[in-house]
Amino acid sequence: MASTTSRFPHPITLAVDIGGTGMKLMALDARGNPLTERLRTPTPNPATPGLMLAALDKMRKEIPKCDRVSVGFPGVIKQGKTLTAANLHPSWVGFPLRNTLEKRWQLPVHLANDAAVQGYGAISGRGVELVLTLGTGLGSALFTDGHLCPGLELGHHPWLKGNTYEDFLGRRGLKKFGKKRWNRLLEKAITQTAMTFNWDRLYLGGGNAKEINFKLPSYVSTISNEDGLFGGVALWRFQG
Ligand code: BGC
């Protein structure tokens, strides 16, 4: 275990970002400053709760003592349960992740959709703000004046030719269509979501945001992969 956290402002948050390809962990002080490196381990295959929790246990041993936990999960979350998990093993459906982690780690846990956590770390809290994360899946989170509209799953919404947004813009789409076409599709999606949601600002995050090769309009910005973890402190503020 890494050194003590006693000299840093508490509460210390253990921020966990669960992804379809990788799982990340970081300790943050009360102001949201990182106290550790961002640790990453590949998501086990099959991506079952048992194997993934064991991998998280192992990474957690590298992190100093924390007071509470924030988790971003790639699926719909209700009442601490994971209701969908499109890019993980189906045994996640209905899994009581919050209670399981609270018992396992003996710490209070807040749990939310991964794009929502990322959004909490990035938004201004003014107007209509949409966050899209470009990773294994396509994450989406919509905020009005800083309030999350829970449960938006734009990634699974039909879009072009009977395919979903995620089919085009998720990892499978990037692989299938190549970087050039994927970028054109992303430009199209920006226009489409502007017409659908009339957002004031759009944030693009996730591991594949680095593949964007066109000039973004001034009201669209990219956010760092670390925001997926930094949002962990804000999650406690909003859900606290
Ligand atoms: C899931 C979303 C998630 C996104 C990014 C989608 O397949 O349905 O809940 O936010 O992937 O991980």
Instruction: Indicate if the alpha-carbon torsion angle 216, 217, 218, 224 is positive or negative.
Output: negative
Contact criterion met (CB below 8 Å) for 88 and 74: yes
Residue to substitute in 114, 165, 227 for testing ligand 1 pocket (most ligand atoms within 8 angstroms of CB): 114
Residue 8: what pLDDT? 80
Q: How far is CA 109 from CA 37, 81, 192, 228, 239, in A?
A: 21, 12, 36, 16, 11
Backbone angles phi, psi at 15, to 5 degrees: -95, 130
Nearest CA to 86 among 24, 149, 148, 165?
165
Look at residue 159 and give its three-state secondary structure.
Answer: coil
Q: Whose CA is nearest to atom 7 of ligand 1?
A: 137
Percent of the chain with pLDDT over 70: 98
Q: Give yes or no for residue 119 having a pLDDT over 60.
A: yes
Percent of the chain with pLDDT over 90: 90
Q: What is the pLDDT of residues 168-220, one digit of tens each?
A: 999 999 999 999 999 999 999 999 999 999 999 999 999 999 999 999 999 99
Q: Answer whether 228 contacts ligand 1 (Cβ < 6 A).
A: no
**All domains in the chain, ordered by first residue:** 13-117+229-239 (3.30.420.40), 124-222 (3.30.420.40)
Q: Give yes or no for residue 226 having a pLDDT over 60.
A: yes
Q: Where are the alpha helices (DSSP H) in the chain?
A: 49-60, 97-105, 114-120, 165-169, 171-197, 227-239
Poorest-pLDDT segment among 30-34, 79-83, 235-239: 235-239
Q: Whose CA is nearest to atom 11 of ligand 1?
A: 137
Residue 41: what pLDDT? 97
Residue 228: what pLDDT? 78
Per-residue pLDDT band at 75 (split at 50, 70, 90): very high
Q: Answer whether 72 contacts ligand 1 (Cβ < 6 A).
A: no
Beta bridge partners of 17: 24, 72
Residue 240: what pLDDT? 66
Residue 225: what pLDDT? 77
Residue 224: what pLDDT? 86
Average pLDDT over residues 219-228: 88
Contact criterion met (CB below 8 Å) for 124 and 201: yes
Q: Whose CA is nearest to atom 5 of ligand 1?
A: 139
Q: Whose CA is nearest to atom 6 of ligand 1?
A: 137
Per-residue pLDDT band at 115 (split at 50, 70, 90): very high
Q: What is the DSSP string of 18-73?
A: E-SSEEEEEEE-TTS-BSS--EEEEPPSS--HHHHHHHHHHHHTTS---SEEEEEE
Atom of ligand 1 nearest to the CA of 133: 5
Residue 12: what pLDDT? 97
Q: Whose CA is nearest to atom 10 of ligand 1?
A: 139
Per-residue pLDDT band at 238 (split at 50, 70, 90): confident
Question: Cα of 10 to ligand 1 centre, how many Å?
Answer: 31
Question: Cα of 106 to ligand 1 centre, how many Å?
Answer: 27
Residue 58, number of CB atoms within 10 A of its CB: 11
Q: Give yes or no for residue 4 having a pLDDT over 90.
A: no
Atom of ligand 1 nearest to the CA of 86: 7
Question: Cα of 154 to ligand 1 centre, how many Å?
Answer: 9
Maximum Cα–Cα distance across the chain: 56
Q: What is the pLDDT of residues 125-158, one digit of tens each?
A: 999 999 999 999 999 999 999 999 999 999 999 9
Distance CA 3, CA 97 (A): 28
